[in-house]
Chains A and B, each alone.
Chain A
């Protein structure tokens, strides 16, 4: 009975809505309505990014609601609109409105609040003077406060404060400030006792063209960088910015340049793992990955003390350094004392070959994985994280190749319109997304406390399921498709392939939905009470987990994945196209609609 409960828990999870993977429409709409900032501008710019074509459907329908991708034109337009609004409402010049907005980090509502609370104070701190603090020279000539030269009245300039400086000193002052960086946007009068702001109008009159251009760049950048709601896309060479509706759920955004990143921490998209874990993991990797790569490629752990050993001389007889001093064979990692004539001579080891055939070393491998050695533990997760990373890169390249070359070719060979081949693109998009999620689950796994056995087991189970589903899908999209690509003419079983791949795509998506959902609520479906029973009695869960772990489960599987309540195999049939486990009563696969 106890194990029943566990299973219910897991299944309830599955049933809670197949369609709202990544919490689609409703949640976000709700969050948006709740977003009650008086920055009403948000509404004006919704869904600018909705021009994505159908093939992006998979991506766009998940994300479109809580952020907007902005081009430079969009950014300028918004900035201009905000400035206009403030200028109109506060009855100040556009230049002053720009200075004011910049000071309050481009928050229209903040400007309103501060201004109407205490205009006097705002004017003082921002440097917007209503009248000059010194009378502008009434004589014909004045001495510039910087170069000490005397100039006629019309060769001098002053900010709103009235402190006069000559045009060339102004140009030098402005130029120095602009070349010093974005601080030029908050330029003040050169007089040390004066706080009067120097705005764009004076820049336009007094600065060189080159400096004006730089100032303009800083002005635009500031609108993105100092604004709480916008960030640049971190992809190299990308000019887009992303405007995000704060408090609207998932931070994962996808730029128009196709790079997916986390808006919160600007690392690459890492849902369902939180930013803190990602930061820790990346830091750890940067400190250790180089070492780790080298150690993996060049060393084996001593079978006795587990310290990594580099083989830097020719023969297979290895002696570990003191205090261990264990003598062993590099090939079979067995004690050297057992080697000799029997094992094929001192400098060869047939034990290795035999043992490899018998699969003994898989056992040894597993044992080592189990060891609590922290280096090994880290290596375990790092390897898998990195492998999925490169696998995703490869999949992205394959997707690209598919879209630019193969689909057209396939369309010709199989006499199918390209619109009928969309399922292939969808499969690849799913693979790319799943590799990303899977990758980050390894960072998650690394930080999941060892003692939370139930959570670990549930996590590894879900991860294993998702992983093996993904392997099947990837295999199908990569290998099986080749047959049809290389065919001379139309293949009669192409439609079956379509059904299978579409089915696998859909099943894999379900697996990952479960995984993402479970990790996002902190595996809260499992409590410590359920742990012991799961450990004790739920054998099939453990089985699923370890098989998933290997990531190589092949062929038909009868693992329940959704509607089924039974975890054991009896009473289910596995669809031979998509491998979905259907309930006994169903004559048609619930996933891919193929007949039994």
Chain B
């Protein structure tokens, strides 16, 4: 399998993710592809996503770590920087990627994004608009979606 010549960096990262997981985050590689991770992020406390369990997928491309990992939400989420396909607008996943960053730092950044939505740099125009015009209502919708889609995990 392709896993046999997995770079040492990926093996080390995987080991550390499993042995010392970051609080509220779990990431485990798929059995048949060590570059594919099943990720769970708990909704941060004091955020509209509190109490939710969000599933994501993370894939390390061939060029990793020179290129950023590919990450996507699988659980539906109401968030101005995440679109309906689960794609995430986050600088370190794009132009601000550095090979000195890791899976752990990426997932922590995504967790932080849930605590601090940024409607000024939106991926989902409608949600961002909602957020800016009536934040209280938008937050309610986000809570509602969390209840509906992210609680049964």
Contact = CB atoms under 8 A, between A and B. Distances in A.
Nearest to A174: B66
A172 B65 CA distance: 9
A149 interface: yes
Given A176-B63, A176-B67, A147 B9 contact: yes
A146 interface: yes
A501 to B, nearest CB: 62
B8 A146 contact: no
Contacts of A191: 98, 100
Contacts of B8: 147-149
B152 interface: no
A151 interface: no
A192 interface: yes
A137 to B, nearest CB: 16
Most buried by A among B12, B13, B65, B92: B65
B100 A147 contact: no
A124 to B, nearest CB: 19
A149 B92 CA distance: 23
A146 B9 contact: yes
A146 B12 contact: no
A146 B8 CA distance: 10
A513 B9 CA distance: 72
Interface in A159-188: 163, 165, 169, 172-173, 175-176
A145 interface: yes
Given A172-B66, A176-B67, A148 B12 contact: yes
B86 to A, nearest CB: 25
Contacts of B65: 146-147
B100 A146 contact: yes
A145 B63 contact: no
A190 B63 contact: no
A192 B100 contact: yes
B21 interface: no
Contacts of B105: 192
- Interface residues of A toward B: which range? 10 to 19
B19 to A, nearest CB: 14
A148 B102 CA distance: 11
Contact of A192 (B12, B63, B67, B98): B98
B6 interface: no
Contacts of A175: 66
B66 to A, nearest CB: 4
A173 B66 contact: yes
Contacts of B63: 176
A170 B110 CA distance: 27
Interface string B17-44: 0000000000000000000000000000
Interface string B67-100: 1000000000000000000000000100010111
Nearest to A190: B100
A148 B9 CA distance: 5
Nearest to B105: A192
B9 A192 contact: no
Nearest to A194: B100
Contacts of A148: 8-9, 12-13
A190 B98 contact: yes
B101 interface: yes
B66 A145 contact: no
B12 A172 contact: no
Most buried by A among B7, B66, B67, B101: B66
Nearest to A171: B66
A191 B105 CA distance: 12
Interface string A132-145: 00000000000001
Contacts of A146: 9, 65, 99-100
Contacts of B67: 176
Contacts of A169: 99
Nearest to B101: A192
Q: Which 8 A-B pairs have the closest CB atoms?
A: A176-B66, A190-B100, A146-B99, A148-B12, A192-B98, A147-B9, A148-B9, A172-B66
Given A147-B8, A165-B100, A175-B66, 11 more contacts: A145-B100, A146-B9, A147-B7, A147-B9, A147-B65, A148-B12, A149-B9, A176-B66, A190-B98, A192-B98, A192-B101
Interface of B: 7-9, 12-13, 63, 65-67, 92, 96, 98-101, 105
16 contacts: A145-B100, A146-B65, A146-B99, A147-B7, A147-B65, A148-B8, A148-B9, A148-B12, A148-B13, A176-B63, A190-B99, A191-B98, A192-B92, A192-B100, A192-B101, A192-B105
